[in-house]
Structure 1
Amino acid sequence: MTLLQVRDLTVTYDGGARAVRGVDLTLAAGQKLGVAGESGCGKSTLALALLRLLPASAKVTGEVLLGGEDVLTMKWGRVRAVRWAGASIVFQGAMHSLNAVHRVGDQIAEPILLHKRATREGARRKVAELLEHVGLPAARAASYPHELSGGQRQRVMIAMALACDPELIVADEPTTALDVMIQAQILGLISRLVAEQDLGLVMISHDLAVLADTCDRLAVMYAGRVVEEGPAAQVYADALHPYGKALSGSFPTIGDPASRFAPRGLPGDPPDPAALPPGCTFHPRCPVALDVCARDDQELRPAGAGRRAACVRVGRTGAAEDVRARVRGQGREPEH
C-alpha cells in the first residue's frame, strides 16, 4: 500500500531561490527511504514541506499525498491532526527542539493530551511506556533537557515522534550532532521501531553509508532535484550518476589504504538556488561532463531494475563503466 506520494513538488523562497524543483517520490507502508545530498541541496526543505512546516513566505506547488490526502491543500485543523497521528518529524538538534524550561515527560505528554484526548494519568502511563520503548527509564520523564545527554535527548525526540502512533516518521539528520557510538545506537533504535510498528520512514542525511545501512531505497538530491534513485545498497556501492558516485567515494573505506591516503570528493559547492546554472546544474563540478550538459537539463530516466538517474550518459553503452573510471581519476572528456 502506498503511504506517501510526492508529485512534482517545488518550493521557492523569497528572492527566487528554488530550493526544491519538481521532486517525485513514493513510499510504501513499512518502507524506509533515504534522501542524501550536500548541505544546500534541498533535503531539509523537502522534509519540512512533507508536513507543511515551511514559512508562509515559501511558495509550494505540487502534491504531497499522505494516505491519499494532499497535505498541501488540507484545512489547518486537519493538518494539525495529521502532523501527529499521520506523520511526525524528528529534528536533528534535540536541544534546540525541546523546551528547556519544561520536563521532557510533559513535552511528550502534550500531543497525547491534545490529540488522543487522554486523561493525565493515561498520558503519564503512555509517556513511561514510550520512554522505556526507546531505551530510557520511565523516571527520566521528570528530567529537564539539560539534564540528559545528547543521545538521551535524541531518544526523547523519537519518543515524542511516536506519541500519537503515526504511520510515517520523517527523520531530518537525526544523528548529526552525536558521536559515532551513540549514532549507531540511535540508528539501530529507529530501524527496530520502524520494523516493529510497520512505519514508513523518510530519513534525511548527507551520509550515504548511514542511509545504505538503514534504508531500503535511496534518493540522491542535488540543487533541489533528485538526480538518482534506487535500492539503497546499489546506489551506495555502484552509483550511476557522477554526483552519487562522488558522494559515496568521499567517505574512506575502513581497511582500504588507497581510500584513506587518496580520499575522493568534489571541488566547490552546490550552486546558489537563486542563480542556478543552465543545463544540468551539476555540470560545472562534474568530472565527466559533455558539452551537451551545459545546454540541456536531464530528467530522471530508467537505469535498470528499480533504478533511475538524471544523466546524459545513462543508457549509453559502457556509460556506467566510463563514469566510474573517470570519477575515480577526476578526468573530463570533450564531446565528439
Structure 2
Amino acid sequence: MSLLELHDVSVTYRGTAGDVPAVRGVSLGLEAGEALGVAGESGSGKSTLAMSLLRLLPRDARVSGRILLEGEDVLGMSWGRLRAVRWASASVVFQGAQHALNPVRRIGDQIAEPLLVHGAATRDGARRRTAELLEQVGLPAWRARGYPHELSGGQRQRVMIAMALACSPRLIVADEPTTALDVMIQAQVLTLIRSLVAEHGIGLMMISHDLSVLAATCDRLAIMYAGRVVESGPARQVFRDAAHPYGRALAEAFPVVGDTASRRAPRGLGGDPPDPAHLPAGCSFHPRCPVALASCASEPVELRSLTAQVPGPPHVAACVHVGEEAR
C-alpha cells in the first residue's frame, strides 16, 4: 500500500460566472521515503492540489476523486478524524514562513503547539522535543525563546520545517519552501529536506516552479499545466530530457553555466497560461506549443508512455508526438 494515492482528483472553485476548474483528473502516488516534485507555472494548479491533500482549501472549492493517505480516504474523513490526521500523520510547510508564523508568539510555543494539541507530549516533554527539533534543523535551542521577526528568512523556513516534523508525520507537503531565499540559504534548506526524508523515511511532496530545484531534490517529477499532469517520470530524466513541449520549455528556461549562447539568448516560453475559466479545446497547451498539430486544437491527449524506457518509474507525457514511432 502506497503512503499517498491520488485517483482522478479534481478541484473546482465556485465563481460568480460559474465553476472554475483548477485541478482536472490528477492521479499520482507517493511511497514512504520517496520525494515527489510537482512543477508548473503560476496558475497551473499545483498549490491547489497540495492543499487539497488535507482539505485546506477555502469553502468555495469542491474536491472530487479519491485521496488515500495510508489507505484512508481523506475526502471521506469526519472533521474530528481530519484534525487528528493533520500534523500527526501529514503536515504542511507553507509558502512564505514570515506570513505562516504568528508574529506575537514565541518560536518554541509555535513548534510545541501540535505536540500539545495532539497529546503527543506533556509541557515539559514538548519543551524538550522543541529543543531537539530546532537542533535537528540546524538552529540552537535558545532560539525557542525568540520571535519570528528576530530570525532571517532561512531560519524562519527552518522553524516551519521543525513544526512540520513535530509529531513525526509520515507525509510532508512542502509548498514552495525556498521561495524568496537567496541561493546559499536555498541550498542549505534543500540539503536539510533531502537528509530528513532519507533519515526518517518520510514521504515528501514538494511544490515549486523551479525544475532545477525539484530535479536536485526529488526522486520523481510531475509537471502540471492548466490543472492537469502533462508529464511525469524520474526527476532528473524529465529535467534533462523532457518529452512534452511544455516540460522542455520549462527546463530550457534555466541558463547553462558556462554556455555563452544561452546567456546571451535565453530561451523561454511565449504567451501566458490559459484562464481556467476559459480553457481552450483539445490540448490546453496547443496555443503556445511550437509543434502543435491541427488535431491538438480539438482532441485532448492522455498520458502516453515513452517508447524508450529506463529502469525505474515510468516516464509518461500527454503529447501526440510521444511514441509516434510505435504507432
Match of 2:11 in 1: 11
Asked if 1:77 is matched to 2:80, the reply is yes
Q: Select 1:105's aligned residue among 96, 108, 121.
A: 108
Match of 2:127 in 1: 124
Q: Select 1:144's aligned residue among 142, 147, 153.
A: 147
Deviation at 1:210, TM superposition (A): 0.5
Deviation at 1:256, TM superposition (A): 1.1
Deviation at 1:318, TM superposition (A): 9.6
Counterpart CA distance in 2 for 1:73 and 1:148 is 39
Deviation at 1:222, TM superposition (A): 0.2
- What aligned pairs does 1:1-336 form with structure 2 within 5 A after superposition? 1-15=1-15, 16-304=19-307, 305=309, 306-317=314-325
**Partner amino acid, structure 2, of 1:310:** A
Counterpart CA distance in 2 for 1:11 and 1:92 is 20
SS of the residue corresponding to residue 324 of structure 2 reads coil
**Partner amino acid, structure 1, of 2:269:** L
Deviation at 1:65, TM superposition (A): 0.3
Q: Percent identity?
A: 71
Counterpart CA distance in 1 for 2:66 and 2:255 is 38
**Partner amino acid, structure 2, of 1:307:** H
Deviation at 1:14, TM superposition (A): 1.4
* Contact 1:45–1:54 under 8 Å retained in 2: yes
Deviation at 1:317, TM superposition (A): 2.4
SS of the residue corresponding to residue 65 of structure 1 reads strand
Unaligned runs of 5+ in 2: none
**Partner amino acid, structure 1, of 2:324:** R
Deviation at 1:118, TM superposition (A): 1.7
Counterpart CA distance in 2 for 1:161 and 1:208 is 24
Deviation at 1:257, TM superposition (A): 1.1
- Normalising by structure 2, we get a TM-score of 0.96
Unaligned runs of 5+ in 1: 320-336
Counterpart CA distance in 1 for 2:172 and 2:127 is 23
SS of the residue corresponding to residue 186 of structure 2 reads helix
Aligned length, in residue pairs: 319
* Contact 2:133–2:166 under 8 Å retained in 1: yes
Deviation at 1:116, TM superposition (A): 3.2
* Contact 2:120–2:167 under 8 Å retained in 1: no
SS of the residue corresponding to residue 127 of structure 2 reads helix
Counterpart CA distance in 2 for 1:61 and 1:93 is 28
* Contact 1:92–1:177 under 8 Å retained in 2: no
SS of the residue corresponding to residue 317 of structure 1 reads helix
Counterpart CA distance in 2 for 1:67 and 1:303 is 30
Runs of 4+ in 1 over 3 A off after TM superposition: none
What is the CA deviation profile of residues 280-332 of structure 1, one whole-angstrom value per residue up to 9, with x for unaligned ones?
Answer: 0000000110000001011111124311110011111299xxxxxxxxxxxxx
* Contact 1:231–1:307 under 8 Å retained in 2: yes
- Normalising by structure 1, we get a TM-score of 0.93
SS of the residue corresponding to residue 6 of structure 2 reads strand
Taking only aligned residues, the RMSD between alpha carbons, in angstroms, comes to 1.1
SS of the residue corresponding to residue 14 of structure 1 reads strand
Deviation at 1:255, TM superposition (A): 1.1
**Partner amino acid, structure 1, of 2:206:** M
